[in-house]
Amino acid sequence: MPVMAYEVTLAIDSENTIIKLDDTYPSVSDWRTASEFAIHMMMRSKPDSRVEFVDCSERVHEVYSSWGYISETPPSIQ
């Protein structure tokens, strides 16, 4: 199973910021959960800022592409 990388673009007080994640984070399994994780992380680190979703791109993570099989991250409760 390939490890997927996500680049989530958020507008923080009208200024675009890119947050890079991959699905080795226990809470990230697809583009939707990567986007939610990035939004919640940014809202937590900058509680007085206005955070808006702009875009999310998805690709196979280059660092892990040469590795063989990588098992999925076990589910976690947060």
* pLDDT per residue as tens digits for the range 13-65: 999 999 999 888 888 889 999 999 999 999 999 999 999 999 999 988 777 66
Better-scored residue on pLDDT, 74 or 30: 30
CB-based contact 53:36 (threshold 8 Å): no
| pLDDT one-digit tens code per residue, 55-71 | 999 988 777 666 666 66
What is the spatial distance between Cα 29 and Cα 24, in angstroms, rounded to a whole number? Answer: 8
Q: In whole angstroms, what is the distance from residue 23 CA to residue 63 CA? A: 13
Residue 14 tokens, joined: 């009208």
pLDDT band at residue 2 under the 50/70/90 scheme: confident
pTM: 0.77
